Amino acid sequence: MKKSEKKKQNQAANEAIGEHEIKTLHFYGGPFIATIPLVFFIIWAITLSVMQLVTEEALVLGIVIGIAVGLFFCKSKWKNYAQALFAGMAQPIGVIAVIAWFWAGMFAKLLAAGGLVEGLIWVGFQTNLKGGLIVGLTFLLSALFSTAVGTGFGTVATFGILMFPAGIILGADPVILLASILSGAVFGDNLAPVSDTTIISATTQEADVPGVVRSRFKYSIAAAIPALIMFVILGGGGEGFGNQQVLAELQEKVSPAGLFMLIPFLLVLVLALTGRHLLTSLTWGIVSSIVVMILIGTPFSEIINFSKNKAGDPVVGGALMSGISGYFNMAILILFILAAAHLLDVAGTMDIIKSFFLKIINGVVRRAEMSMFAIVAFLNVFITINTAAEITAGPFIRNLGKEFNIHPYRRANLLDTVSSSLGYIFPWSGGVLLAWSTIKGAAKEYDFIPIVGPTEVFPYVFQAWFLLIVMFIVTITGWGLRFSGKNGEELTKEEYEKLQE
């Protein structure tokens, strides 16, 4: 058989199974009709937010329906539309993020199962601080915990149940105390190497996670220092609560044993920040976590267990399983959103949008970064789960930033800091609603707990507000601006301009 005939047969076989590359799609009404899946998803997310019905499963359903609706507006062959979706899902960006999520999820759940949060709260009790000082300590402990486990929502839920009642007893202002917990969640959500938003911001901008974390540390600290000062100053003024029995019950729930889980946390942090691959760092973290848990007497069933439910169906439980399963829905969501965003590429929509912004920017890097800031902020206003908003904004930031050769670390920082902040500010955002719901549940157990409403707490989430201010100043002044060199290295403005000469 001739090579040309064999090539034709292979090409035909590939097309038959849908493996040919689709470079162009046409839509009835023009390129902007390709935005229907994403626009539908955004409207769907806004509607769910207003109705307070946001769940990850519901968000997945919204993007699936949006993609299905978009199919009916495709002028090209429907099989080409489908193949473009598959190509979008198969991008390394999504696959890397999903795998990193699973490893990070297992590690985070192991730290929690080992009692890290209880150990941190035990520290809070032992210091015997009161008023504004206990609020400041709560911020520090929640920031440390969220950085260790990489989950802002998990931090809000855990500290809301345990530390919020304790802080009320010790004379903390309820509104400022809840805001300090939210602020700690913002800190870790933004900075933790194992955070879902950190992973998404890095992978969508084609950057490595350790490098991203190192580059954004200065922004996180610049916001955290004034936030801590504000919490200490404004955190007092609560009436306190004299029921020592309640305080004793809370103290019985926590112990210092969980502090040993700081060992695997610090190990992962050191490995990640010294250049080890994220999966390598997390694997060592998982192994060391299991060893420490066994040594401190944690039942092995907390790590993994096998059983059957009442119906006789097999069930796999424990931290390892819950760590993976906790990201199934977000893994599906990112693949579908990447697929929907890829439609904008093959339809030419992204080029039109990019050209529009380029005319406004007119070659000025500062305007480019301000446009990125605005795009991310706009999407976070309407998509109340910051991870989903970040996934949606990622392709826009990547395409726009590449036009000006802005370094991937810088793009990732603009994407994540804005998303992490706004996810805990707006009264309708997922983080604030979770905090409100959590303390309502805690109030059923402790009747002295006041219910702090979403509209009361959002002005005092200082870490989020200061982080937004820092990043706005960054876009205006160019502080920390870096460009990409020939080999991907970071270049200052002066180095980059010299290279261009």
How do residues 95-135 score in pLDDT, each as one tens digit? 777 787 788 778 878 887 888 877 877 887 787 777 888 89
Q: For residues 406-420, give the mean pLDDT.
A: 93
| 104 domain-assigned | yes
Taking only the tens place, the pLDDT of each residue in 69-106 is 999 999 999 999 999 999 988 877 677 777 877 887 78
| 314 domain-assigned | yes
CB 191 within 8 A of CB 419: no
| 473 domain-assigned | no
CB 445 within 8 A of CB 335: no
| CA 330 to centroid of chain Cα atoms | 10
| 74 domain-assigned | no
Split into its structural domains, the chain has a count of 1
| 406 domain-assigned | no
Reported as a pLDDT band with limits 50, 70 and 90, residue 245 is low
d(CA 350, CA 340): 12
User: Model-level pTM?
Assistant: 0.73
- Alpha-helix residue ranges (DSSP H) falling in 253-405: 262-273, 278-295, 319-325, 328-347, 349-361, 365-382, 386-403
| Closest among 103, 35, 96, 101 to 345, alpha carbons compared | 35
d(CA 147, CA 134): 20
pLDDT for the residue numbered 9: 53
User: In terms of residue numbers, what domain contains 241?
Assistant: 94-325
Taking only the tens place, the pLDDT of each residue in 181-233 is 999 999 998 998 888 889 889 989 999 988 999 999 999 999 999 999 999 99
| Closest among 199, 195, 194, 175 to 186, alpha carbons compared | 195
CB atoms within 10 A of CB 451: 11
Q: For residues 238-263, give the mean pLDDT.
A: 73
| Closest among 114, 141, 110 to 125, alpha carbons compared | 141
Taking only the tens place, the pLDDT of each residue in 44-66 is 877 876 776 767 788 889 999 99
Beta bridge partners of 315: 307
Reported as a pLDDT band with limits 50, 70 and 90, residue 16 is very low
| 19 domain-assigned | no
Joined tokens for residue 121:
């709260």
Taking only the tens place, the pLDDT of each residue in 138-179 is 899 889 888 887 778 778 877 787 778 778 877 889 999 999
Beta bridge partners of 207: none
| 169 domain-assigned | yes
CB 209 within 8 A of CB 110: no
| Closest among 376, 29, 390, 469 to 202, alpha carbons compared | 390
Angle at the Cα of 135 from the Cα atoms of 131 and 137, rounded to 5 degrees: 115
pLDDT for the residue numbered 6: 53
d(CA 393, CA 337): 10
CB 204 within 8 A of CB 391: yes
| 105 domain-assigned | yes
More confident residue, 129 or 315: 315
